[in-house]
Amino acid sequence: MDKTVQEKILGIIGEKFESEILSIETPYDFLTIDFKRDHIIDLIKYLYDHPVAKFQYLTTLCGIHYPDSKQIAVMYQLHSLVNNWRLRIKIFLPEENAVTPTLTTVFAAANWMERETYDFFGIQFTGHPDLRRILNVEEMIIFPMRKEYPLEDQTREDKEDFMFGR
Amino acid sequence: MADESIINSSTAVEEKKYSTLNLGPTHPATHGIFQNVLTVDGEVIIHSEPTIGYIHRAFEKLSERRPFYQITPLTDRMNYCSAPINNIGWHMTVEKLIGAEIPKRVDYLRVIIMELARISDHLICNTVIAVDTGALTGFVYLFQFRELIYEIYEEICGARLTTNIGRIGGFERDFSDKAWAKLEKFLKEYPEALKEFESLVKRNRIFMDRTIGAGGITAERALNYSFSGPNLRAAGVDYDVRVMNPYSSYQDFDFIIPVGLNGDTYDRFMVRQEEMWQSLSIIRQAIDKMPDGPHFSPNVPDFYLPPKEDVYNNMEALIYHFKIVMGETDVPKGEVYHCVEGGNGELGFYLISDGGRTPFRLHFRRPCFIYYQAYPEMIKGANISDAILTMSSMNVIAGELDS
């Protein structure tokens, strides 16, 4: 995506949400916006309805755990099929109180994606019609994709990380 | 007085009772482990409640503990009907992250493999739709050509179903003469068989009656549900990653994107059928235009395992070999998304690297997982027999669904 397109998208977002943008990056030419958590659904709705931008396709949605800053991010990736523009928006939630409104009001596809994110990261999507675990067993009490849950058995002494250069 | 009691008692008798029916988890017609709890009124489905996750294997968590080259075998097991597309999609994601320049020949070889994989994926899906309508002949007849595709894989990488094909940076070896010969054999024999299958099924009255109008979805709903691949195209939206965001030199090839009109089972079948013809044409073009050059990128010695004879005779190759196997190579920090057109749609890899030996976070955008959630809406009000057809025509693959 070339620079003019990125500026155009940023202009469209800036018209209404200038003060809400935390930072803008373009890793590997992919426009990524860190956004304040409060108005994320308003922003996505605005981009959905915008006559030019038309970000009407939700490519994917996932959680990312940053244990160092004690934050959990939610990444939304939108695609404007008319213009072939792609956009990534991230919001950051505190680890112990990861609550954010649901996106199912805009995209039906967000339903299972949010259930998966809840299942693995424990993010509560308020207003979600059916927020249950989806891939893991219902009885599970942890949120396994959080970084505090290591993959291997931590009591084993023959598998120390440094032996494997980790 | 008497009349009233008759009226009352008759309404009591006719009061509707819905019954609950378990479709799955292990039902032979669902081709995988899916559970659907159906609420039915006679034969008509009122409501359905899908449960998934029966073969969840935590690939995203596993990949946080594995060096990049060890993640390729995990991707095999997502859509196992077209494993090479997953492998190559993952390789390309890593290549994007490390900024590897890939020779044209590798791109073309990859296109051949990916289109073969697409054919084998669509072949299974379409013949299984025919099986579910009662026509077993096509399935048995075309299945030998999937065997031929698997023999080509075998010739290239040694494996058949879960291929683990290629490496980061290219292929481990160039296609052998035998592989080219088998490819030629396939290209010669498959079109005839496919045509025969088509003439058996396409205008067959029973097949048309069963599939036209069954399990339809409008373009608006399909987009809202983030459909991709043949299922979206059957609904009339011409979104194809190969054209929208060309990768692996797809821009060099001339092909059309078939689209449907109603998004029903028949349209999905026809879109897949046409895509197979297009894939055959792409493979032919790739063979005709095949450029010379190396079969791997010489610029990424940190990731591409050196040839074995070099490891024994060449100090540098030995060092790289050791570094790669032990996962000691430096990976740049970054965040990258790469998507390919898989058998079922946009297969995306969202990779965050923090410079460590493993990904910090890896998210797979699995098209199956995303579009299967529309299934209850698509079968509402349909018969149970239509629900089976809808599921097989959506090509829901359990491995991709559950990751």
Backbone angles phi, psi at B271, to 5 degrees: -65, -45
Instruction: Give the model's pLDDT for residue A148.
Output: 85
**CB contact A166 to B (< 8 Å):** yes
**CB contact A32 to B (< 8 Å):** yes
Instruction: Give which of B65, B66, B71, B373 to mutate to test A binding, by max A Cβ within 10 Å.
Output: B373
Instruction: Give the model's pLDDT for residue B324.
Output: 87
**Are the beta carbons of B224 and A107 separated by less than 8 Å?**
yes
- Chain A 113-132, residues with CB within 8 Å of chain B CB atoms: 113, 116, 120
Instruction: Give the model's pLDDT for residue B325.
Output: 86
- Is the CATH number 3.30.565.10 carried by domain A3-148? no
Helix axes B265-289, B104-132, angle to 10 degrees: 150
The C-alpha angle with vertex B118 and arms to B192 and B216, in degrees rounded to 5, equals: 95
- How many CB pairs below 8 A link A and B? 92
**Are the beta carbons of B373 and A112 separated by less than 8 Å?**
yes
C-alpha distances (whole Å) from A45 to each of A23, A104, A107, B174 are: 20, 11, 10, 50
ipTM, 2 dp: 0.91
Instruction: Give the model's pLDDT for residue A110.
Output: 92
**What is the chain A residue with the closest CA to B225?**
A109
Nearest to B226 among A107, A120, A136 (CB): A107
Instruction: Give the model's pLDDT for residue A102.
Output: 93
Q: What is the pLDDT of residues B49-99, one digit of tens each?
A: 999 989 999 999 988 888 888 899 999 999 888 999 999 999 999 999 998
Instruction: Give which of B98, B247, B350 to mutate to test A binding, by max A Cβ within 10 Å.
Output: B350
Q: What is the pLDDT of residues B299-357, one digit of tens each?
A: 888 888 888 888 999 999 999 998 888 877 888 999 999 999 998 999 999 999 988 88
Q: What is the pLDDT of residues B289-306, one digit of tens each?
A: 999 999 998 888 888 888
Q: What is the pLDDT of residues B111-150, one digit of tens each?
A: 999 999 999 999 999 999 999 888 888 899 999 999 999 9
Do the beta carbons of residue B67 and residue B399 sit within 8 Å?
A: no
**Are the beta carbons of B337 and A77 separated by less than 8 Å?**
yes
**Are the beta carbons of B226 and A112 separated by less than 8 Å?**
no
C-alpha B287/C-alpha A60 separation (Å) is: 35
Confidence of residue B1 (pLDDT cuts 50, 70, 90): very low
Instruction: Give the model's pLDDT for residue B327.
Output: 78
**Are the beta carbons of B53 and A108 separated by less than 8 Å?**
no
Q: Which residues in chain B have Cβ-Cβ distances shorter than 8 Å to A86?
A: 337
Residue B215 CB neighbour total at 10 angstroms: 25
pLDDT one digit per residue (tens) for chain A, 166 residues: 778 888 888 888 888 888 888 888 888 888 999 998 888 999 999 999 999 989 999 999 999 999 999 999 999 999 999 999 999 999 999 988 899 999 999 999 999 999 999 999 999 999 999 899 999 998 888 898 998 888 776 666 666 666 555 5
Look at the domain B67-402 and name its fold: Cytochrome-c3 Hydrogenase; chain B (1.10.645)
Nearest to B328 among A56, A81, A165 (CB): A165
Q: Which residues in chain A have Cβ-Cβ distances shorter than 8 Å to B358?
A: 166
Strand A21-25: give its sheet, edge to edge. Answer: A21-25, A32-35, A85-94, A71-80, A57-66
* Token reading at B108: 């073309």
